[in-house]
Amino acid sequence: MEGFLRYLRQERGYSPHTLRAYARDLRDFGEFLGGRSLLEADLQDLRAWIMHLRAKVSARTVARKLSALKSFYRYLLKRGFLQETRLLVLSGPKLSRDLPRVLTVDEALALVEAPQGEDFFTLRDRVALELLYGSGLRASEVCGLRLGDLHLGARLVRVRGKGRKERLVPLGRKTLEALRAYLPVRKSFLESRGKESEHLLLNRQGEALSPRSLQRLVKRYARALGLAGVHPHALRHSFATHLLESGADLRSIQEMLGHSRLTTTERYTHLDLGHLSRVYDAAHPRALAQRPSQDKDL
């Protein structure tokens, strides 16, 4: 297991959060086996484990745990520790393709502009929200930003995404304004505590802001506006959807989001039928200029 986790960290570039989740999932299956080695497990054990999990957790959690286990067995198979290939063919539960929570433009703007003030924490919060919605970054990417990643003159930020992949993402005008207001105050904040840090967003101790703290930050401002079910990824979803609705092509959005597959980007965008109808009426040569108010002959 240690070799597997080391492989995920060093060769696949998995985040510490993902590594902890994989280790926990493998330990859970080991406990289910009652002390038997994971190498001794067979297809029947896996099926029994899935049935055991379905009574306790959601289908999405079951699918994630099964994916972690199959990755482990695939690693063992490639290194000659395992000959049982049937463990890799077991399918997980079918997942519903629920649309993500997407804010309206007015809701997103109200949330991003909610932090009002000139103190360190308010300015920091404004930068965080601007990066989530204005550039569509993941929570972990926002928290991982360093001062050297900012290229304010070029209006770009270098982002380290999943698998240590780097990409350049544009910074909007409002994000630039928020950064230029925050950076001098950030410097004074560190000096007052006698600390140094290259991380862009800092907590009260002058250390890097954690994704969990960022999640709490977003929820706090959302609750104050009466917005339920809002988390950092909701702003990322809204970023992609609003770009697409404004005419951006899907490939460009894919590049900004850092998705390897276009199908992943498609899941992050949400277009209502009203918007599709407006696009059709405006662009298709056979579209009707005016819809009849009543279809009496139908």
**Catalytic residue annotation:** 138, 162, 233, 236, 259, 268
Q: Which H helix or E strand runs over 142?
A: helix 139-144
Own/partner contacts of 71-77, CB < 8 Å, gap of 24 or more, are 71/4, 71/8, 71/22, 72/1, 72/4, 72/22, 72/26, 72/38, 75/4, 75/7, 76/4, 76/39
Q: Which H helix or E strand runs over 157?
A: strand 156-160
Displacement of CA 185 from its chain's centroid (Å): 28
Partners of 166 in the beta sheet? Answer: 160
Tokens representing residue 228 in the block: 């339920």
List of residues 6+ apart from 208 with CB closer than 8 A:
143, 144, 197, 199, 201, 202
Q: What angle do CA 66, 69, 71 make, to 5 degrees?
A: 110
Tokens representing residue 192 in the block: 């007052």
DSSP letter for each residue of 74-118: HHHHHTTS---GGGGS---PPPP-PPPP---HHHHHHHHT---SS
CA distance 173 to 175: 5
Residue 250 contacts residue 269 (beta carbons within 8 Å): yes
Tokens representing residue 45 in the block: 């054990």
Q: Which H helix or E strand runs over 276?
A: helix 273-283
